[in-house]
Structure 1
Amino acid sequence: MCRPSCKNHVNPVCGSDGILYDNHCELHRAACLSGHHISIMHDVTCSRATTMPPVPPITPVASTTASENGAVGKESVSTESPVVEDDVTESIVIPDEEEVEAPTDDVISVRNCTEEDFDEFKNEVFRHYREQFRNPKDETNPSLPPMTEKFLISFLFDHLDTDMDDVLSLEELKEALITDSIQDIAVSCSLEDFLRADKNKDSRLVAPELYDVFGIEPVSIPEELKHKNVMGKVGRNLVLSCDIETNYNLRVAWERNGVPITEKSNFDGIKMYHGDDRLYLVNVKLLHTGEYTCYAASYPKVKQVHMVNVQVPPTVTMCPHNQLKPRGTTAKVQCYAQGVPTPSKSWSRNQNSMELGEKYQLDDSNSSLMVHHLDYADTGIFDCSASNEAGTGSASASIFIRDSSSAIDFNSKNVYYFFHKTGIQIVEPDTCAFQDSYHADSHLPEDAGPLCHINKTTRKRECNWGSAVNVRNRYVYASQPTENRIIVIDLRLNEIIEVIKTDNIPVALTYIPHLDSLWMENWRNKNHRSGLHSVKVIRSASDPPPHIPIHLEPSGNHFDIVENVYIPSEQIVDQGEMKYGYLVHRDQKGLNKIDLHGLTHSGRINLREYNCHPNSVAFVAIGGTVIVNCDATDDQEERQLFIDYITDAVLRVNDGVQGQLYVTPDGRHVISVDREEQHIQVQKVTNDGQIKTDFQVSTNLHISDLGFYPTMTSHIYDLIATSRNREEAIFINLENGKVEMISGMHEPISVEDWKWDTHNRKIAPSGQFGPYMVSPSSDHVVILNGQYRRLHCDVDHLVTANVFAWVGVC
């Protein structure tokens, strides 16, 4: 039955019969009455005005029978005379304009519409409307958009929305069932079943919900915009706009590295504002490098990916800054440049270019300048400049010439402070000569007694050291665990100026340069596996005394007792501050965040889902990744997790890699030492923050500690590993995986003589420019030449000197 009338509203449409109809309803009613298909014509002018077809006389309609499953069967015409009940009138009443003829329930809504039936019904509806809306003229008009599935659904929504209120009501769906002859294909299902997509259960469908019915995304994005590379610069701001295309007001959601960030506003440097779909990165840091994804809420399949690469302008350091050299000798000036991406270097003299040859020679990938056969004319200022996509940087060094071969060096001596069993020894590594010393019976200030106490067993005065750090070349702090104190050496006065009382057994010291704060771990007992450590912090550690240690924020009604403390260090100058460190508690599966400024607790990262109790943690500044090595359990081996420093979310498992974690000082390589399997796994960090496995070295050396040697070449650092029980070390080139053995290391310190950790043979470089690596043996200190991987010298009579600090300008 055709619709007797349409609601009185005007939305003119031009039909393929040349008539301009008041609205879609009038066009479809005319098509029904005439029995001919009438398409909607776009961008054409109709030749005739609307004519209202008269309602034809009502004639009897053959009855229908329903099949057992509720589907409408074929028409069957009765041959018997009709029987008319007494209470039935002979005429059929036509509803007035305000009424909508509602089909009976046994036609419009059959209750056994299965998912399979519904899928078939949707396909039939789709084909029905594609044919109903098809206009042969459209197919030959290149200016019209193609009849894609998305376009068809948009067109269908406008067609069904007869009252133009931007929602489809149940009445409108029922109305379309009749006016569009959908009852011919409505077997087990009906248009009413479209309300299955009604997410808010208001018995109406908005346009995106109609798209959901047909499994079509109401959003799209051009292929060329699906992936965008965005370059940012440290310290600047970035605005990321989402280019998802849609005709509807859909909320935009954002993710970082696959983790939702829209619902929270407390992520470091990441902001979103109400009513604004853009993502703001404020005061960009290197850790903001990563993948940012946007999509329309509820439609995550259509995404746009912004790959943000944060760049850091070069920072240049030169050494020595000034040197006075005898005439006829050779001067060497070194240049170290940091930045992201890795900068290139160039040299000049007195702001003029130099001609390389016999006089001037560049080595180590332009990192070292050699000036041969010095003469008075070589006096001058030598500049090293570095540049990358983010900017340029430069530094200068001066060379002066004199006749005397006894020329003095303007720099203070570069020395090691060795803390050993009978005191403190200062050694200059170039000559391996003693510079100064403090004996075990040296008296301390403030009536603190002698430097070291008498051992009750040996009845000799013996020193016991835990850790030592250099604070801005002003002070060296060294902990004395058995004395429950820290001593402070003033490097300008070259004397011990302060004794700081601490909690019991202060062992580990960590200095944070950008905060000028010194962190100390104090043990409750001498068993390092007990996991009962207190933490104290000295603020303004480089200021003159007194230095007062304070506890972290109490946990409940007591000071926090932890198992380990992990604090990020600066890997690239101007990378941007990392505000948080982590505490690990005994028997707990997770990390507790600590604000490094306020010394307050800032949340917890729960790792119960991964059954992970951390035993080693490392930080990668590029991309802001925290790597956690988990204890082995009864049903799984050790394994590593990658955690996003910004969102605290676990990103993935570092498959196939386990062991104690180390990161090169520049943050470009991650090293995992598996002491059980005797593997050293090397992973490389790319400019976009990806951590990729590079190579693996197997060794039976029984690794004690790793040290990183500054190569001054393109890859900056190489690795030297010491042994717990052998008189050898291993050198590994981190660029190509080349391995060399280094012999002559002497017998290591015994486990009994070093109880504070498993690193009974530590190793460390001589600053950024020094060629040396030092490592103690049981009664010697071995000084290696890192460049040639061989013994430089052997310092005798330093017993158990496993604590040392480098002091030098370069």
Structure 2
Amino acid sequence: DEVCPKADGDPVQRCVWATAVNVKDKFIYVTQPTLDRVLLVDVQSQKVVQAVSTDPVPVKLHYDKSHDQVWVLSWGNMEKNSPTLQVITQASGSISHHTIHTQPVGKQFDRVDDFFIPATTLIISHIRFGFILHKDEPVLQKIDLETMSYVKTISLKDYNCIPQSLAYTHLGGYFFICCKPDTTGAVLPQLIVDSVTDSVIGYNGDVTGTPYISPDGHYLVSIDDAKGLMRIQSITMRGEIQDAFDIHTNLHISDVAFQPSFTEAHQYNVYCSSSAQTDVLFVELSSGKVKMVKSLKEPVKAGEWPWNSKNRLIKDSGLFGQYLMTPSKESLFILDGRLNKLNCEITEVERGNTVIWVGEA
């Protein structure tokens, strides 16, 4: 009852979740956007140990391993009128947790549209800076993750770019930025920002769409859903960005997960779930070889998933994991990445689009 209290006058007890993160295989943090809180689930006992109050409608979490902090983006209301950013420190500690606000810009908290903190990998174990994206502003606000304070504003005004999403590779130290379509609806190519000098290098050729970087930093996968195009670029050890090769797909890609190749050393494969169809696309990044994993049932309808654009997630099971999971409207599918096929289906998981892998302690 405490986990999902019944709303007054509602005959049905509903559980509404948005996103979840794994904190050191000790806790699962998960947002309940309609209850304005984050629940902490103890992995070992599988019990809720704390409910942390947040600003209204918390929708996005990120665990910053470097500083043991969970970042929380809240919308303020369903219209996203007063979004804020809060941080829960000592996230893996067995203490009473609470949120603190990040430093406001110009005494205004409510301009945050999104945030980006690069993921830690085997190669990058410490992340010092992140970025905050402000509503309708052609800037990246650089933030020091240790002090949670703004350190610099990187202007994208000369390129007329309001940033929408980012990806980072340590090879060359580049940030790839997907810009929002302009007022005419025209889509701009991605921008490349140098992380050392914080300056804009220029456009990433004619590559458009949402950028994703493989965990080894060697592959940039860009998804342009409007064009039905997936573009793959490799990045050399010296940070040289190679020409893109294209894969055309009408799959309407919802989410992307990377997995090390089980046949070739130092290579990666990518799996893409669809926001509208029942198949998962598999691409071998070194060769461009494509395969479909079929018949994984319908995803949750986009209109029934207001919390982000990923109405069908796909999650890899960690750097050395063999499996991936992707939910449908009524089931959860486990895929075998070694064999490129369905491993099993767990039925009667309705709209289970908040998923997280947990390692055994």
Q: TM class, shorter-chain normalised?
A: over 0.9
Larger proportion of helix: 1
Alignment match, 1:752: 303
Greater RCO structure (CA 8 Å; 6+ sep): 2
Alignment match, 2:99: 549
Q: Is 2:156 the partner of 1:607?
A: yes
SS in 2 for 1:593: strand
Q: CA deviation at 1:512?
A: 0.9
Change (3 A) 1:559 1:729: same
CA deviations over 1:697-724 (Å, ceiling 9, x no partner) = 0011111111112324323421111111
- 1:472 aligns with one of 24, 27, 31: 24
CA deviations over 1:104-137 (Å, ceiling 9, x no partner) = xxxxxxxxxxxxxxxxxxxxxxxxxxxxxxxxxx
Alignment match, 1:517: 69
Which amino acid counterpart does residue 502 of structure 1 have in structure 2? T
- 1:631 aligns with one of 177, 180, 186: 180
Alignment match, 1:696: 246
- 2:294 aligns with one of 743, 755, 758: 743
Cα distance between partner residues in 2 of 1:485 and 1:631: 30
Asked if 2 retains the 8 angstrom alpha-carbon contact of 1:748 and 1:777, the reply is yes
Cα distance between partner residues in 1 of 2:22 and 2:267: 22
Cα distance between partner residues in 2 of 1:457 and 1:628: 46
Cα distance between partner residues in 1 of 2:39 and 2:332: 22
Cα distance between partner residues in 2 of 1:731 and 1:572: 24
- 1:797 aligns with one of 324, 348, 354: 348
Cα distance between partner residues in 1 of 2:316 and 2:295: 18
Cα distance between partner residues in 1 of 2:5 and 2:305: 18
Cα distance between partner residues in 1 of 2:273 and 2:185: 32
Q: How does 1:79-98 map to 2 (within 5 A)?
A: none
SS in 1 for 2:158: helix
Alignment match, 1:481: 33
Change (3 A) 1:531 1:805: same
CA deviations over 1:324-372 (Å, ceiling 9, x no partner) = xxxxxxxxxxxxxxxxxxxxxxxxxxxxxxxxxxxxxxxxxxxxxxxxx
Change (3 A) 1:640 1:553: same
SS in 1 for 2:147: coil
Cα distance between partner residues in 2 of 1:770 and 1:590: 37
Cα distance between partner residues in 2 of 1:456 and 1:674: 43
CA deviations over 1:127-184 (Å, ceiling 9, x no partner) = xxxxxxxxxxxxxxxxxxxxxxxxxxxxxxxxxxxxxxxxxxxxxxxxxxxxxxxxxx
State TM-score, norm by structure 1: 0.43
Change (3 A) 1:532 1:663: farther
Cα distance between partner residues in 2 of 1:453 and 1:732: 43
Cα distance between partner residues in 2 of 1:654 and 1:474: 40
CA deviations over 1:524-559 (Å, ceiling 9, x no partner) = 2224xx474200011111111211210011223343
Q: How does 1:450-469 map to 2 (within 5 A)?
A: 450-454=2-6, 459-469=11-21
- Identity among equivalent positions (%) equals 33
Q: CA deviation at 1:571?
A: 3.1
Which amino acid counterpart does residue 784 of structure 1 have in structure 2? L
Asked if 1 retains the 8 angstrom alpha-carbon contact of 2:66 and 2:125, the reply is no
Q: Is 2:192 the partner of 1:642?
A: yes
Change (3 A) 1:800 1:618: same
CA deviations over 1:23-43 (Å, ceiling 9, x no partner) = xxxxxxxxxxxxxxxxxxxxx
Cα distance between partner residues in 2 of 1:716 and 1:454: 49
Q: How does 1:660-679 map to 2 (within 5 A)?
A: 660-679=210-229
- 1:592 aligns with one of 141, 146, 149: 141
Q: How does 1:640-789 map to 2 (within 5 A)?
A: 640-712=190-262, 713-789=264-340
Change (3 A) 1:481 1:590: same
Alignment match, 1:287: none
CA deviations over 1:363-396 (Å, ceiling 9, x no partner) = xxxxxxxxxxxxxxxxxxxxxxxxxxxxxxxxxx
Q: CA deviation at 1:455?
A: 5.3
Which amino acid counterpart does residue 20 of structure 2 have in structure 1? A
Asked if 2 retains the 8 angstrom alpha-carbon contact of 1:531 and 1:563, the reply is no
Which amino acid counterpart does residue 12 of structure 2 have in structure 1? K
Which amino acid counterpart does residue 723 of structure 1 have in structure 2? S
RMSD: 1.8
Cα distance between partner residues in 1 of 2:203 and 2:9: 49
SS in 2 for 1:651: strand
Larger proportion of strand: 2
Change (3 A) 1:744 1:550: same
Q: How does 1:236-385 map to 2 (within 5 A)?
A: none
SS in 1 for 2:151: strand
- 2:130 aligns with one of 581, 586, 598: 581
Change (3 A) 1:715 1:488: same
Asked if 1 retains the 8 angstrom alpha-carbon contact of 2:222 and 2:230, the reply is yes
Q: CA deviation at 1:568?
A: 1.1
Cα distance between partner residues in 2 of 1:719 and 1:760: 18
Asked if 2 retains the 8 angstrom alpha-carbon contact of 1:614 and 1:630, the reply is yes
CA deviations over 1:441-464 (Å, ceiling 9, x no partner) = 3xxxxxxxx211335686200101
Asked if 2 retains the 8 angstrom alpha-carbon contact of 1:516 and 1:540, the reply is yes
Alignment match, 2:168: 619
Asked if 2 retains the 8 angstrom alpha-carbon contact of 1:715 and 1:734, the reply is no
Alignment match, 2:78: 526
Change (3 A) 1:771 1:577: closer
Q: CA deviation at 1:635?
A: 7.8
Cα distance between partner residues in 2 of 1:754 and 1:476: 21
Q: CA deviation at 1:688?
A: 0.7
Cα distance between partner residues in 2 of 1:483 and 1:636: 38
Asked if 1 retains the 8 angstrom alpha-carbon contact of 2:82 and 2:110, the reply is no
Q: Is 2:43 the partner of 1:494?
A: no
Change (3 A) 1:453 1:752: farther
SS in 1 for 2:71: strand
Change (3 A) 1:644 1:701: same
Asked if 2 retains the 8 angstrom alpha-carbon contact of 1:682 and 1:696, the reply is yes
Change (3 A) 1:496 1:632: same
SS in 1 for 2:305: coil
Which amino acid counterpart does residue 160 of structure 2 have in structure 1? N
Q: Is 2:91 the partner of 1:562?
A: no
Cα distance between partner residues in 2 of 1:492 and 1:453: 23
SS in 2 for 1:563: strand
- Structure 2: gaps (5+ residues): none
Cα distance between partner residues in 2 of 1:761 and 1:666: 25
Q: Is 2:71 the partner of 1:536?
A: no
SS in 2 for 1:462: coil
Cα distance between partner residues in 2 of 1:668 and 1:570: 15
Asked if 2 retains the 8 angstrom alpha-carbon contact of 1:536 and 1:549, the reply is yes
SS in 2 for 1:602: strand
Change (3 A) 1:635 1:800: closer
SS in 2 for 1:609: helix
Which amino acid counterpart does residue 662 of structure 1 have in structure 2? Y
- Tell me which structure has the larger Cα radius of gyration: 1
- Structure 1: gaps (5+ residues): 1-440, 442-449
SS in 2 for 1:510: strand
Q: CA deviation at 1:576?
A: 6.4
Asked if 1 retains the 8 angstrom alpha-carbon contact of 2:118 and 2:167, the reply is yes
